[in-house]
Amino acid sequence: MSKQDSNKTQNNPQIYQTMDSTKCSKLADSNPKINLITIAENATEIFYRLRWGSQIYCPKCGSIHIYKPEAGKLHICADCDNRFSDTSGTAFHSTKLSLAKWLMAIYIFLTQSKGVSSCNLSRLIGVSQPTAWNMLMIIRTCLKIDLNLTDVGIIDEVYLGADWGKKPSKEKYKKLPPKPDNVDDSTEQIWIKHQFYRLASEDKIPILGISDYNSRSIMLEGFPSTFTRNAVRSHINANYECVEEWVTDQSNLYKWITGDGYMHHVCDHSKGIYRSDEGYSSNRIEGAFSHLKRVWKGVYHRFSKEYAQLYLNEFCYRWNGFEDDIYKRLKGLFELMCWR
């Protein structure tokens, strides 16, 4: 301890506070059982535990020599004089919402297998719908997906969006282009069907799914502008070089794989073949896609192309970590929401 530090110690009885006895006593267990009731009752304790662990430290220099002149004031680092609050450098800083509401939102976000809509979250935690939407978007922007690929990976694609042909509404008819002269009464229905098909495919969001063959982890990438063979090829070559073998379906999007030096296992779904000659199947990612379609239809109804990647990240984050216990997931997400 430097001379300057010891002066501060003598002047202030609260110097070098530790968190153990004051804030974390109710959570003595290293892996506490967490549910909505414990969060509502012990939000401050849980927040302190997640933020600081057992020892408060300076977020700037990492020093544990921290003092606080008075209760309710900022913490001060004795080494670098940094002044900070418990929420400094986190996504919760400068919001008017209570920590309990934030923690409840995170808990609900993590535990609902299909996610939660802003309308539903607003009812559950008692905030307005725009506030709930903002909270969910803040959580989504903090997410980071780690895809740990081994040497075998699966690629597949899916398109999210409504099928316009089934029950065209009046609104959809308004989007039709002017009818060309060569379309008469007898060919009008065929022309309309074709236009709906074209508009629907423009409206759909193409998504590329990458999965590890040996684990649950997946990554979904939205391609809002160009979804072509070359786009897929450069994306895979740039981001997933560690993989040596790819399992795909028969789509033309993957015809380049063997030529680029990878081993290619094809499951030709068009011929009813779901296992390649070498015994590989792409069922794992098909399962994730079918869950994603239910999330799209059942919870969000739709999301715009602009925000698609945030929603896809949310889906992957939940899918990849679903087998971990809730405290571990809460801690993992909380750490992503603390920026330093």
Residue 101 has phi, psi (to 5 degrees) of -65, -40
Does 63 help bind Zn ion (rule: CB under 5 A)?
Answer: yes
Rounded to a whole number of angstroms, the minimum distance from the CB of residue 83 to Zn ion is: 10
* Whether 45 contacts 329, CB under 8 Å: no
At 121 the three-state DSSP class reads: helix
Q: Does 8 bind Zn ion (CB under 5 A)?
A: no
Closest approach of Zn ion to the CB of residue 91, in Å: 21
Pick 166 or 340: Cβ nearer Zn ion:
340
**In the complex, minimum distance from the CB of residue 80 to Zn ion, in angstroms, rounded to a whole number:** 3
Task: Give me the residue label for tokens 């997931």.
Answer: 329
State CA 144 to chain mean position distance. 7
Q: Contact region for Zn ion (CB under 5 A) — 32-40, 76-84, 101-109, 251-259?
A: 76-84
Nearest distance from C-beta of residue 340 to Zn ion, angstroms: 12
CB of 79 to Zn ion, least distance (A): 5
Please name the residues in contact with 224: beta carbons below 8 A apart, sequence gap of 6 or more.
205, 206, 305, 306, 308
Is 79 or 86 the residue whose CB approaches Zn ion more closely?
Answer: 79
* Short-list 83, 23, 10, 72, CA closest to 51: 23
For residues 77 and 145, which CB has a smaller minimum distance to Zn ion in the complex?
77
Nearest to 156 by CA among 111, 104, 112, 219: 219
Nearer to Zn ion, 60 or 255 (CB): 60
Q: How far is the CB of 74 from Zn ion (least distance, A)?
A: 12
Q: Hey, CA dihedral for 305, 308, 310, 313, is it positive or negative?
A: negative
Size of interface with Zn ion, in residues (CB under 5 A): 8
- Binding residue (CB under 5 A) for Zn ion from 18, 44, 82, 276: 82
DSSP letters of 2-23?
A: -HHHHHHHHH-TT-S--STTTT
CA triple 128-133-135, angle to 5 deg: 95
Stretch that binds Zn ion, among 71-79, 208-216, 233-241, 311-319 (CB under 5 A): 71-79
Residue 221's CB is within 10 A of a number of other CB atoms, namely 20
Question: Does residue number 77 form part of the binding site for Zn ion (CB under 5 A)?
Answer: yes
Interface map 13-42 toward Zn ion (x if CB under 5 A):
------------------------------
Task: Name the residue nearer to Zn ion (CB basis): 77 or 333.
Answer: 77
- Can you read off the two tokens belonging to residue 255? 């015809």
| Residue of 84, 64, 81 lying closest to 4 (CA atoms) | 81
Which of residues 1, 61, 190, 242 is near Zn ion by CB under 5 A? 61
Whose Cβ is closer to Zn ion: residue 82's or residue 120's?
Answer: 82
Q: Evaluate whether 223 touches 210 at the Cβ level (below 8 Å).
A: no
Binding residue for Zn ion, selected from 20, 22, 33, 80, defined by CB under 5 A: 80
Select from 19, 58, 76, 106 the one that contacts Zn ion (CB under 5 A). Answer: 58
Residue 305 neighbours by CB under 8 Å, 6+ apart? 205, 222, 224
Name which of 78 and 266 has its Cβ closer to Zn ion. 78
Quickly list DSSP for 133-196: HHHHHHHHHH--------SEEEEEEEEES--TTSS--HHHHHTSPPPPTT--TTTHHHHHHHHH
Q: Which CB atom, from 19 or from 58, has the smaller least distance to Zn ion?
A: 58
* Least Cβ distance, residue 88 to Zn ion (angstroms): 12
Site residues (vs Zn ion, CB under 5 A):
58, 60-61, 63, 77, 79-80, 82
